[in-house]
Structure 1
Amino acid sequence: METLIKKNHADKQLGLGILILVIGSVFFLRNTGIDVPHWILRWHTIMLGAGLWMGYRKNFQGSGWLALTIIGGIFTLRAISIFDFNLSGITVPVVLIGLGLYVILKPKKVQNFDQYFEKKPVDFTEKES
């Protein structure tokens, strides 16, 4: 149990350290005059990063991280323009393709057909309080 707590604490420290390092590097580059894209430190990029980090921490299981990642990804793709080509026209198709791949590739919960019709004993004993 103690090793699990230490590992969890080490993961949190690593994630926080990387986050602070990235934000500090972006501010450093911006203050030295290097052109940093405007969308780097916006709310949607931070939401995208938080969603991916949550997914990594939970081995990409569940759907909370996916919602953050999709919302952050949509707004981040809308803000990015590469070579005067605006990515907002392909945002919805990319999200739909990603969602389809997630539905196809997510782990399946396998239940036998017999489990649906399995009779479970009913307890009719009275509970005294």
Structure 2
Amino acid sequence: MENLIKKNHTDKQMGLGILIVVIGAVFLLRNTGVDVPHWILSWHTIMLGAGLWIGYRKNFQGSGWLALTVIGAIFTLKDITVFDFEMSKITTALVLIGLGLWVILKPKKFKNLDQNFQNNQADIHNMKS
């Protein structure tokens, strides 16, 4: 168990290190005159990254990280232009597709009614004894 905790901490530390290196590389490219798109270091891209980072740290459990990620993604997609084509024209469709995939692929958390009923009967028999 201890090895698993250490490995998980090491993986998260490596992820943070990679993130810092990428941000530093973007700053270096921008300061040396390379044309880096303005949306890469905007508030909404940082919000998107923060949401993904929080989700990664919490193993994508809960929904707080999802709100940050969705809001950041919507504003980032509105700001991206690729080959003079604005992503804002297809943002709603992409968000709906992403939401649908999340609903389909999320882990199933349900109890079988028969097992629940059997467990309740066993508890009642134990109380009577």
Equivalents in 1 of 2:21, 2:91: separation in Å?
29
Equivalents in 1 of 2:66, 2:117: separation in Å?
30
For 2:25, give the aligned amino acid.
Answer: S
- 1:79-118 paired onto structure 2 within 5 Å: 79-114=79-114, 115=116, 118=120
Divergent runs of 4+, >6 A: none
For 1:17, give the aligned amino acid.
Answer: G
Equivalence for 1:65: 65
User: When the two structures are superposed, what TM-score results if normalisation uses the length of structure 2?
Assistant: 0.78
Equivalence for 2:24: 24
Aligned length: 123
Superposed CA RMSD in Å reads 2.4
* 1:111 Cα deviation after fit: 1.2
Q: Which ranges of structure 1 fall in alignment gaps of 5 or more residues?
A: 124-129
For residues 111 and 6 of structure 1, do their structure 2 counterparts lie closer, same or farther at Cα, with a shift above 3 Å needed? Answer: closer
More helix by share: 2
* 1:72 Cα deviation after fit: 1.0
The alignment partner of 1:39 has SS state of helix
Equivalents in 1 of 2:2, 2:97: separation in Å?
42
User: When the two structures are superposed, what TM-score results if normalisation uses the length of structure 1?
Assistant: 0.78
For residues 106 and 12 of structure 1, do their structure 2 counterparts lie closer, same or farther at Cα, with a shift above 3 Å needed? Answer: closer
Q: Which moved more, 1:47-56 or 1:89-98?
A: 47-56
